[in-house]
Chain A
Amino acid sequence: SSMARSADISEIASDIITRRMSITMGDLQGLGMSQRFATAIDSNCALKNIMCNPADIYRKPNGVCNNLKNPMWGSSITAQPRFIPPHYGDGKNIGIIPRYLSVSGEPLPNPRHISNSVHNGGISPPRGCQFTVLLTFFGQFVDHDVISTP
């Protein structure tokens, strides 16, 4: 519940700031503004002062203490740094609506059509002898174990 409270505060504060300062979420996420925001919201963030035992064989189940110097890195329900700014379909870039328009403003193609086209093996689809479909599920397992982000 403390993490949910932090998330609510962050989301609502972001909304208030962008409206009051007439800036976009992209502006707020930019350098400078993001540091001001982080400083202002710091005291309302959950999970502070994590203590790790260096003698523990494993990290915590939620990923905490995987990195002893930065105990929260890679843990569940924490923000993940991005290489590029987000571009979701909702105006606030929260991600509740997937992106549906291209940079030209035209609707993006149906992902199912792309998937079917890319993976269409024709009448004689290639068969690998090195991996089975288990590789896919193992990759998904690792992915979700690392992310665990709602």
Chain B
Amino acid sequence: DIVSECVAEAVGLVDR
């Protein structure tokens, strides 16, 4: 699901 992928990407950016 593209929405889940985008959220996962955002999580990666925030937690980086």
Binary CB contact string for chain B from 1 to 16 against chain A (1 if under 8 A, 0 otherwise): 1111011011101110
- Which chain A residues border B14 with CB–CB below 8 Å? 5, 8-9, 12
* Complex-state Cα separation, A17 to B1, whole angstroms: 11
A149 CA / B8 CA spacing, docked (Å):
26
Contacts of B7 in A (CB 8 A): 9, 13, 37, 40-41, 44
Instruction: Determine if B1 and A16 form an interchain contact, defined as CB atoms under 8 angstroms apart.
Output: no
Q: Please report whether the interface of chain B is mostly helix, strand, loop or mixed according to DSSP.
A: helix
* Alpha-carbon gap, A41 to B7, bound state (A): 6
For residue A27, give the distance in angstroms from its CB to the closest CB of chain B.
Answer: 12
Give the secondary structure class of A's interface.
helix
Bound-complex Cα distance A9 to B13 (A): 8
The reply to whether the CB of A36 lies closer than 8 angstroms to some CB of chain B is yes
Contacting residues of chain A (30-49) with chain B, CB-CB under 8 angstroms: 33, 36-37, 40-41, 44
Whether the Cβ atoms of B10 and A20 lie closer than 8 Å is no
Residue in A16, A21, A36 whose CB lies within 8 Å of B10 = A16
Are the CB atoms of B9 and A16 closer together than 8 Å?
Answer: yes
Beyond the given A9-B11, A16-B10, A17-B2, please list 11 additional residue pairs across the A-B interface where CB-CB is below 8 A: A10-B10, A12-B13, A13-B6, A13-B10, A17-B3, A33-B3, A36-B3, A37-B7, A40-B4, A41-B7, A44-B7
8 A-B contacts (beta carbon < 8 Å):
A5-B14, A8-B10, A9-B10, A9-B14, A13-B10, A13-B11, A17-B6, A44-B11
